[in-house]
Structure 1
Amino acid sequence: MPRDLRGFLKLLEERGQLRRISVPVDSHLEISEISNRLMQAGGPALLFENVKGAEYPLAINVMGTVERVCWAMNMEQPADLEELGKKLALLYQPRPPKKISQAVELGKVLFDVVKAKPSRDLLPPCQQVVLKDEAVDLTKLPLLQVYPGDAGKVLTLGLMITKDPESKIVNVGVYRLQLQSKNTMTVQWLSVRGATRHLRKAAERGEKLEVAIAIGVDPLVIMAAATPLPIDLSEWLFAGLYAGSGLHLAKCKTVDLEVPAAAEFVLEGTITPGETAVDGPAGDHMGFYGGVNEQAPLLHFHCMTHRKQPIYMTTFSGRPPKEDAMLAIALNRIYNPILRQQVPEIVDFFLPMEGLSYKAAVLSIDKAYPGQARRAALAFWSALPQFTYTKFVVVVDKDINVRDPRQVMWSITSKVDPARDVFILPDNPFDHLDFATERAGLGSKMGIDATTKVYPETDRPWNDELKPEPDTAKMVTRRWADYGLADLSLDEVNPNLFGYDIR
């Protein structure tokens, strides 16, 4: 049986992490207000069974904690995600093995790839009900209006599937869509995304771009779509690697695309290059309303299929913590091995949720020569497409815990001379939704070298850092219970002082 959203919701309910709400609730502002309050408190996933004016129930906050994201990935704790990252790193930039052990490890990963190959489902659940042409009515979906200043209702957690008109390579992405009519929506995306490349190529060929939107998929598939992949690798294959077995796909009814067979809803349509409509404003992950785009691509949907008694799954963006921030924390762990393979001197890195998940990064390096911190920062910005829009990079020594803001702030204040250690890169391609930049789509980046300086970075001798005497520290650890402090483990004293795991 294929994995699906329903199975994951059942797991959450069994673990006390799903709350059903049966009273009538409005998709205009009310659902997002309820969900946001529970998100801020680390509360459970919600299943609204009676949404006013809609024909289907709505699930939200499904991956609203890092713990639930791990469960979606068949794991129990964030540290396990790095093991998955090591496997992906071998595929992301494979290198000839130099030792037998490396060859064995690569062989295991390649065998996992064979097992992860997707298969075709001839009687897919997502096509139990088929609606075409005039029967397609998107207003029957419980689309949310999240903020009072939003221009309209939005679809936020659908997987958009497109295909390169030339190479036929499929791209899967998650974008915000705004309802325009009963069968049309506009899409908000960044110019570097795969679907935008496909639309440009379709325009050059004078063709329409076929599109499918899969809604209510297994959360694991959403994680695969959010993972940075080489351009010629399939998100479906990575989803199979995540799951440990191949994903079940279904051929769409009216377009030449495949979608997860167990999706709750599938929308099928096209984008005609040059056909646009006004999109926005809408609340965005930066914590502000995004601007108005007067030339947003317009999608026409001519077919909608769904399961019997389908469940609509959604989320929304805004100032953290939000559900997308929880996904980013988990992906941070997966990125680690991939990043270290491309920039070997990086020991660890962290994207703080409070830094909007990708706008600020902290790197630790094993410093061996002058100027290395700057080199590491420059390499980070170019390592993965997701890091193109990272505004601030702080580089610290390898013994600093990048997840502990106390240690990071100490490094900045004790090891940085701003005139020497802060460098600015002006006029970089940037996120249009970042209103801090003087010009839309063009901004600067800042690197901060918070490492211990070596000659010729400084001529001053650097005195020894204050550290406990090792033998005394070991003795105190050994005698901790003798002091009557056994009930106060170090983890319990201060496990999450700053709102996230600092260990």
Structure 2
Amino acid sequence: MARDLRGFIKQLEQRGQLRRVSAPVDSDLEIAEIANRMLQRGGPGLLFENVKGSPYPVAINLLGTVERVCWAMNMESPQELETLGKKLALLYQPRPPKKVSQAIDLGKVLFDVLRAKPDRDLFPPCQQVVVKGDDVDLTTLPMLRVYPGDAGKVMTLGLMITKDPETKIPNVGVYRLQLQSKNTMTVQWLSVRGPTRHLRKAAAMGQDLEVAIAIGVDPLVILAAATPVPVDLSEWLFAGLYSGSGIHLAKCKTVDLEVPATSEIVLEGTVTPGEVGVDGPAGDHMGYYGGVNEKAPLFRFHCMTHRKDPIYLTTFSGRPPKEDAMMALALNRVYTPILRQQVPEIVDFFLPMEALSYKAAVISIDKVYPGHARRAALAFWSALPQFSYTKFVIVVDKDINIRDPRAVVWAITSKVDPARDVFILPDNPFDSLDFATEKPGLGSKMGIDATTKLYPETDRPWAAPLVSDPDVAAMVDRRWAQYGLADLELGEVDPNLFGYDMKV
């Protein structure tokens, strides 16, 4: 049976992680304000059933916790995600097996690939209702205006599908679109993304680029679209690997593209190279209003299909925590084995949510030679396309808990001499939404070597770190109950005890 958004909503409701709101609400600012308060508190997903000016209910904050992201991927804990990452790593950069066990592992993955091939639906639910031509009216969709300074309403969780005009390989991604008229929207694209390559090729071939927007898909497919897949592999295949079976696709009515068959709503249209509109300002993931882009690609939609009584799934960007940050925290576990495949010396890595989930990375290495930390940082920046926009890379020793900010700050302050251990790479292609750079789209990167230094990195002998006597520590463990302290848990320490104000 095909997975869909409705099944996930039902799962959340059964687990007490969904609240239905029947009171009338406005998609202009009000829904976002309510959802943001839920996000800040780790609250449940929301289904607004009575949205002013639209016949469609709005689902939001469904992926607002790491736990719910795991549920969307058929898993119960983040630890299971790394097992999936190991499987994907074999596909990302396959190598001839050297052992029988490696051959068996590769064989299992290839079998999973066969099971993950998409199925086709001849009578898909997403085409139960078909609207074409002048009857297409995007203003009936309950798109959100999130912040008071936004230029207009935006679509933030539509799955965009385009196809390479030459290879015919599809690209599936999530990009912000801004409503311009009843049948047009502009898009916020980064220059390195797949659709921009497709549009450049279409321009060179003198043709329009076809596009489809699938709204209200199974959240698992959204997570697959956010995974760093190799250019020659389809996100549909990765979605099948995530779910354990091939996802169901449907051929669009008016364009030569395929979309998830269980989508709630599908928009079909084209973008003509050189036809642009004014996009922005709009609230962005950096926590500021993005600038105005007067040359944003303009989409024209001529067909809308949808299920009976469709649900509009959405989210919004901004300073973390937001849903995209929760997804990034979970996918961090999936990336780790893929990154190790590319850069073997990396033991672990972490993209802190507070650093916008990609602007700063902490990586740990098993350091064995001078300059090793710098090499690891440089390799990290080139390992996966999305890491090219990471501004800071902090490299620590393998015994540092990279997910503990106190441990990372201790490593930086106790192991770093700024003149020796900080290096800057100027004039790199950069995120144009980063206002900290002097020039739009061009900025610098910083590497910080917070590892223990080896000769000739330093001529000073490095003192031994302070650690408990292992025999005494073991004895205290055994006698803990005898001390009358058995009722005191020795788990995570409350950060507030050390002056960290963790209240939202």
The TM-score range, normalised by the shorter chain, is: over 0.9
Q: Matched residues in 1 for 2:286 and 2:243: separation?
A: 32
RMSD between superposed Cα atoms in Å = 1.3
Which residue of structure 2 lines up, in the alignment, with residue 143 of structure 1? 143
The 5 A counterparts of 1:192-341 are 192-341=192-341
Q: Does residue 488 of structure 2 align to residue 488 of structure 1?
A: yes
Paired amino acid for 1:349: F
Alignment partner of 1:254: what SS? coil
Q: For residues 23-422 of structure 1, what are the structure 2 equivalents within 5 Å? A: 23-422=23-422
Rounded to whole Å, the distance in 1 between the matches of 2:77 and 2:494 is 19
What is the Cα deviation at residue 476 of structure 1? 2.0
Matched letter for residue 114 of structure 1: L
Equivalent residue for 2:453?
453
Task: Give the direction of change, closer, same or farther, for the CA distance of 1:317–1:245 in structure 2 (3 Å limit).
Answer: same
Task: Tell me, yes or no, if the aligned pair for 2:495 and 2:501 is still in contact at 8 Å.
Answer: no
Distance 1:390 1:293 in 2: 23
Query: What is the deviation of 1:470?
Result: 1.1
One-letter amino acid of the counterpart of residue 251, structure 2: K
The aligned runs of 1:472-483 (5 Å cut-off) are: 472-483=472-483
The 3-state SS of whatever aligns with 1:443 is strand
> Aligned partners of 2:91 and 2:492: how far apart in 1?
39
Change (3 A) 1:197 1:147: same
For residues 443-486 of structure 1, the C-alpha deviation after alignment (integer angstroms, 9 at most, x for no partner) is: 00000000000000000011110011111222222333333333
> Which residue in 2 is equivalent to 1:2?
2
TM-score where L is the length of structure 2: 0.98
Alpha-carbon shift at residue 389 of structure 1 (Å):
0.4
What does 1:460-479 correspond to in 2, within 5 Å?
A: 460-479=460-479
* Paired residue secondary structure (1:303): strand
Cα distance in structure 1, aligned partners of 2:190 and 2:412? 33
| Aligned residue pair count | 500
Note the C-alpha offset of 1:496.
10
In the aligned structure 2, how far is the partner of 1:353 from the partner of 1:492?
19
Cα displacement string for residues 112-141 of structure 1 (whole angstroms, at most 9, x for unaligned residues): 000000010011000000000111100000
**Aligned equivalents of 1:207 and 1:425: distance in 2?**
39
Q: Measured at CA, do residues 122 and 499 of structure 1 come closer, stay the same or move farther in structure 2, by a change above 3 Å?
A: farther
Could you give the per-residue CA deviations for residues 29-54 of structure 1, whole angstroms, max 9, x where no partner exists?
00000000110000000000000001
Contact 2:211–2:270 under 8 Å retained in 1: yes
Q: Which residue of 2 aligns with 1:16?
A: 16
Give the 3 Å change call, closer, same or farther, for CA 133–397 of structure 1 in structure 2. Answer: same
Deviations, residues 19-70 of structure 1 (Å, cap 9, x unaligned): 0000100001000000001100000000000000011000000100000000
Give the superposition deviation at 1:499.
10
Q: Distance in 1 between matches of 2:227 and 2:397?
A: 27
Q: Distance in 2 between matches of 1:137 and 1:489?
A: 58
Q: Which moved more, 1:486-495 or 1:413-422?
A: 486-495
What per-residue deviation string (whole Å, max 9, x for no partner) do you get for residues 332-381 of structure 1? 10000000111111000000000010000000000000000000000000
1:493 is displaced (CA, Å) by 4.2
Partners of 1:465 and 1:493 in 2: how far apart? 22
Gap regions ≥5 residues in structure 2: none
Partner Cα distance (1:141, 1:484) in 2: 62
Q: Return the alpha-carbon distance in structure 1 between the equivalents of residues 496 and 166 of structure 2.
A: 50
Task: Return the alpha-carbon distance in structure 2 between the equivalents of residues 46 and 135 of structure 1.
Answer: 30
| TM-score normalised by structure 1 residue count | 0.98
Partner amino acid for 1:483? Y
Separation in 1, partners of 2:251, 2:226:
22
| Secondary structure in 1 matching 2:11 | helix
